[in-house]
């Protein structure tokens, strides 16, 4: 099983690892495309006005452009420590047991507009690039990553994918047959609506349950059982969709 998480706009600064070396990242077939996008991102950082527009940054976010300018020279951290925010707070990787951290290294991947997908332990620097960004000289990032990212993921030969990425990141590299998770809120009358911001929290809780559970997850039914054991309300939407319900 491979659990594919969404990335976060926010990222931890600094790091203790050597500068970015694409050859140290997982899914090496993606290296040429990663290098092409990384070089374009560094070049874009040389024009702050163009970078601000392409990356959708506000006037108070120019430090994000400097991060991109230093992409090849800044220190790295494992991806699971680099990404921050609601999902990663709920996952709380640092507090996992040693056994669960071993599972995280084996079973967690994180989507990325820059790297396509990285494993939890892959060393990466801080950067700013979103699935909806458009780099000069490129089409959309979805068109850029297809079909290389899908081919690389399918080529892993995993028996099951749990794809927790948001729609924009799923489009970078769709995974045929993956189980997706929809988070809905249900009011007293039974009406349901899609949860937006806090859906990441519930996906983080589910991920932590998957890493902590000894249950073998082979399909949506066993995935639902792990979610329920972890304290979540869950139901099966289809063979390829799990629904998490919140109040």
CA 62 to chain centre: 23
Residues 6+ apart with CB under 8 A from 70: 125
Q: Does the pLDDT of residue 86 top 80, yes or no?
A: yes
Contact 117, 151 (CB under 8 A): no
Contact 182, 194 (CB under 8 A): yes
Please compute the mean of the pLDDT values over residues 68-91 and round it to a whole number: 97
Half-sphere exposure of residue 232: CA atoms within 13 angstroms, side-chain side: 30
Closest by CA to 128, choosing from 142, 112, 143, is 112
Provide, for the chain, the percentages of residues in helix, strand and coil under a 3-state DSSP scheme, each rounded to the nearest 5: 40, 20, 40
Q: Is 210 in a helix, a strand, or coil?
A: helix
pLDDT 10s digits, 174-195:
999 999 999 999 888 888 999 8
Kindly tell me the sign of the dihedral angle through the C-alpha atoms of 184, 199, 152, 112.
Answer: positive
Predicted model pTM: 0.95
pLDDT at 117: 98
Q: What is the mean predicted confidence (pLDDT) over 145-166?
A: 97
Assess whether pLDDT exceeds 90 at residue 210: yes
Domain count, the chain: 1
Residues whose CB is less than 8 angstroms from the CB of residue 40 and which lie 6 or more positions away in sequence, other chains included: 135, 136, 137, 138
Q: Does residue 52 register a pLDDT over 80?
A: yes
pLDDT for 135: 94
CB 26 within 8 A of CB 155: no
Q: Which domain holds residue 53?
A: 2-246
Q: Tell me what percent of the residues of the chain surpass a pLDDT of 70.
A: 100
- What is the band of 156 on the pLDDT scale with cuts at 50, 70, 90? very high
Task: List alpha helices for the chain, DSSP H.
Answer: 31-44, 48-55, 62-69, 79-82, 86-91, 98-107, 141-145, 148-154, 167-170, 199-212, 220-229
């Amino acid at each position: 099983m491979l659990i594919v998480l969404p990335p976060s706009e926010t990222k931890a600064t600094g790091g203790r690892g050597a500068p970015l070396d694409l050859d140290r990242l997982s899914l090496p077939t993606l290296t040429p495309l990663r290098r092409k996008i990384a070089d374009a991102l560094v070049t874009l950082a040389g024009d702050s006005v163009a970078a601000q527009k392409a990356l959708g940054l506000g006037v108070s976010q120019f430090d994000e452009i400097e991060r991109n300018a230093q992409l090849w020279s800044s220190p790295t951290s494992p991806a699971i420590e680099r990404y921050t925010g609601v999902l990663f707070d709920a996952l709380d990787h640092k507090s996992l047991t040693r056994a669960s951290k071993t599972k995280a290294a084996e079973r967690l991947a994180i989507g990325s507009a820059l790297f396509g997908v990285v494993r939890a332990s892959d060393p990466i620097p801080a950067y700013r690039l979103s699935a909806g960004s458009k780099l000069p000289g490129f089409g959309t990032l979805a068109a850029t990553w297809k079909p290389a990212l899908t081919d690389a993921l399918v080529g892993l030969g995993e028996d099951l994918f749990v794809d927790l990425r948001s729609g924009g990141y799923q489009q970078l590299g769709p995974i045929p047959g993956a189980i997706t998770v929809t988070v809905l809120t249900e009011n007293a009358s039974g009406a349901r609506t899609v949860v937006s911001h806090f859906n990441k929290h519930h996906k983080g809780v589910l991920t932590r349950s998957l890493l902590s559970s000894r249950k073998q997850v082979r399909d949506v039914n066993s995935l639902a059982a792990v979610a329920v054991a972890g304290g979540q309300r869950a139901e099966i939407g289809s063979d390829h969709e799990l629904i998490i319900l919140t109040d």
